[in-house]
Amino acid sequence: MNWRAIWAIYKFEMARTRRTITQSIVSPVISTCLYFVVFGGAIGSRIQQVDGIEYGAFIVPGLIMLSIMTQSLSNGSFGIYFPKFSGTIYEILSAPISFWEATIGYVGAAASKSMLIGLIILFTAGFFVPLQIAHPLWMVTFLLLTCITFSLFGFLIGIWADGFEKLQLIPLLVVTPLVFLGGAFYSIDMLSETWQTITLFNPVVYLISGFRWSFYEISDVGVGLSLFMVMVFLGICLGLVGYIFKTGYRIKQ
């Protein structure tokens, strides 16, 4: 394993974050704070509690997941797309570094950025609502797995995209609606039986449910099933990355 090459890619991507800290860090944190004000204030005045948890505190895990999913996709996709766009991808292809080592560098940087944003939002949420984390280790585990998985997903989007507009196509039209419909701001128990069944086909439900359980020990689905679904999605992303590297899809053309 060429750790020096991995570290070089990782350091370069993290340096880009420092140069655009307002866009990379400050903007998503402020946007999430506005969600707190709108949903926690407006809806929270009508819905006092959900499953015995104050509504403002109940939506914290969902807001964090919404932010880290979108940021992981954005960071992961742009990190690999920009070298394709500028032509510097050929320097990486000709360097003594394997595709997996390049992936670790890019995805590791994207996941680190998202993890940092998630922790900042978690810290900021403590100023708005009283928080409790029943299982800190599981909270960090779900947070880390989600950051890595969606950074890999974003990496795949960056390879697939052949234009800047396509980088936002899947996050805006697919992922964000799935998060809003995945129980980020409500419990699926509040839905009718028919809609509960339909909602269980949404993979984001399992991510948010498991993450919320680590805070309040309440969940819409079993914690084991949530962890299993995260690992399945991660395995699918790894399989697709392996296929792309084997075939050179949209990299070597």
Contact by Cβ (8 Å): 51, 187: yes
Up-side HSE of residue 142: CA atoms within 13 Å toward CB? 27
pLDDT at 140: 92
Decide: 126 and 88 in contact? Cβ < 8 Å: no
Predicted local distance difference test score (pLDDT) of residue 10: 87
Predicted local confidence at residue 3, as pLDDT:
82
pLDDT of residue 23: 65
The type of residue at 215 is F
**How far apart are the C-alpha atoms of 66 and 182, rounded to whole Å?**
10
Which residues of the chain are modeled with pLDDT < 50? none
The answer to whether the CB of 171 falls within 8 A of the CB of 78 is no
Q: What integer pLDDT is reported at residue 75 of this predicted model?
A: 85
Please report the pLDDT score of residue 8 as a whole number.
Answer: 84
pTM, two decimal places: 0.86
Residue 48 vs residues 137, 166, 203, 237: alpha-carbon distances, Å: 29, 40, 28, 39
